[in-house]
Amino acid sequence: MKFSNKYILSITGISLVVSVLIYFPEWMSLFGRDENISTELFPGIAVIDVINEMLFTFISLIILFGLNIALLGLNRLSTRLSWQKLLFSFVLTWIASNLLGNGFVFLHHQLDIPAIHSTVHFLLHPVRDFIISAVVSSSCYITWLIRKSQQVQIENQQLRMESLLNQYEALKNQLNPHMLFNSLNTLRSLIRETPDKAQDYLQELSRVLRYTLQENENQTVSLREEMEFVNAYLFLLKMRYEDNLMFHLNIDEASELLQLPPMAVQMLIENAVKHNEISNRKPFTITIHADKHQLTVYNPIQPKLTPSRGTGIGLGNLAKRYDLLFKKTIEIQDDNNLFSVTIPLI
């Protein structure tokens, strides 16, 4: 796994901060108020000397980070870090830091690179090597833990999304055959009772089914798209029930661009038609009202003499889809005279 720019920047930032802070005594000696202490601890010290030491330490830290990453496989999240590996990292970094320090001394003598000449400075080298080793090893370990945690979170989120998509697809695959079954039953009745209407019904049915197939890949559609489909579906219902079935549509124009699950309104209409009597004796009216961020489908309750045996798919399916997609609920009200379902528009 390649490192992100954020990870590289964090290594660079840590190296820069450590390379500055680790020479705090020298900086204090340079800019401190007591010049006698400066002369005694670091005689002949100059700014260029400290800058060179700091620059070399910065480069050394980058090298030490790279060494740990390469040898311990910290660029692979599959790597397992035990306390033995961490101890090995610490010892390896300490030895490498000491060797790099000796290399700088060698370059100083060979190329006359400005450096600090002080007994105190040389005595501080083992302490600084220890600090550098601790910082590099602990930083690598902490960074690995953070990356591991982030990877686990990403994998969990991916699994959760896959699970939600699988559940949602199962719901859609359950809903489409349900509507097709009801539509074919209606077509069968029309063929038997009014064959002339059956042909027109079949044409509109093909348009409706085309919508269900086209929207099968979409998790949401706009209310405008849904209502275009609903109008075609209403034509099918009107062809069967004629003047015994009426619809009142009151759709706020500002709501047409809001989103909802495909076939949500159609399902509510189908649910109302399925459970209520529609006849010359009892005409039936369905009202669809949408404004702001919700849509309501309501109708008077006209129980059939012989109650229909539903499959239990309709409202339960819609409630599950809203929960999976938006973490929202639908509102169902039944006051014995009027039945209504309100769904959110997103």
Per-residue pLDDT of 90-114, as tens digits, reads 888 888 888 887 777 777 677 777 7
Domain ranges of the chain: 5-157, 194-344
Please report which confidence band the pLDDT of residue 323 belongs to, taking 50, 70 and 90 as the band edges.
confident
**β-bridge mates for residue 296, sequence order:** 289, 342
Please report which confidence band the pLDDT of residue 1 belongs to, taking 50, 70 and 90 as the band edges.
very low
- 34 torsion bin: left (phi>0), alpha (psi -120 to 50), beta (else): beta
Are the C-beta atoms of residues 244 and 276 closer than 8 Å to each other? no
* C-alpha span between 201 and 197 (Å, rounded): 6
Beta-carbon contacts of residue 321 (< 8 Å; ≥ 6 apart): 168, 171, 172, 261, 264
Per-residue pLDDT of 151-195, as tens digits, reads 777 766 765 665 565 555 555 555 556 566 767 777 777 787 777
Length of the chain as a residue count: 346
* pLDDT (0 to 100) of residue 125: 76
Of residues 212 and 40, the one with the higher pLDDT is 212
Q: Write out the two tokens for 11.
A: 């290594």
Architecture of domain 194-344: 2-Layer Sandwich (3.30)
Please report which confidence band the pLDDT of residue 121 belongs to, taking 50, 70 and 90 as the band edges.
low
- Which whole number is the average pLDDT over 255-269? 87
